[in-house]
Amino acid sequence: MLFKQIPVEIDNDACSKCRICVSLCECISYDEENNLIFINAISCKGCGICVSSCPSNALQHIFDRVFVLSESKEIKPFDCVNCGYEFFEDKEKIIFCSRRLDMGKAIESVFKGKRVVVKDCLLVEKTTTKIDNEKTKKMKEILELFGIEDKIKVEK
């Protein structure tokens, strides 16, 4: 079973800077100095509230663009440059992209008897690798407290 997270992107040229989206979503911020709207694509769950409330239609789901580019090719989890997959889950394991590791979901899966695998994302930049490693390390520490640290595996 695949669970997709389809983040939102903004066309700052089309944006009227009304900031309705900023008031509706904690994943969106406004940079007053540069007069730009920014979206945190990692934390964006793709609910679409901002997209539907944008009067200038400057916000859109990224899948609108990805589907056009991949019409004849099936996108596999963790293989796409603009991967929209949050995690992949089957009966035995759950696989997370390192940038989208949900510690709560991972720990819940461990207690259900599943193995947790964390794979490096193709989008990982050297600046975020440290943050991703710290998240994984903290999760291992939590699992150690419960004596089940061997249930998580990190793959490159």
What the block records as the tokens of 91 is: 């009966």
Of 130, 131, 133, 138, the C-alpha closest to 118 is: 133
* Residues 6+ positions from 121 with CB-CB distance below 8 Å: 78, 83, 97, 98, 99, 100, 132
Our count of domains for the chain comes to 2
Query: What tens digit of pLDDT does each residue of 14-60 get?
Result: 999 999 999 999 999 999 999 999 998 777 878 888 888 999 999 98
The total number of residues shown for the chain amounts to: 156
Domain extent for 58? 2-69
Mean pLDDT of the chain: 74
pLDDT of residue 79: 45
pLDDT of residue 2: 42
Both 105 and 45 in a single domain? no
pLDDT of residue 152: 72
What the block records as the tokens of 1 is: 């079973």
Whether 103 shows a pLDDT value over 70: the answer reads: yes
DSSP secondary structure code for residue 92 in this structure: S
Both 58 and 91 in a single domain? no
CATH number of the structural domain spanning residue 43 = 3.30.70.20
Could you tell me if residue 76 is inside a domain?
Answer: no
Cβ neighbours, 10 Å, residue 33? 5
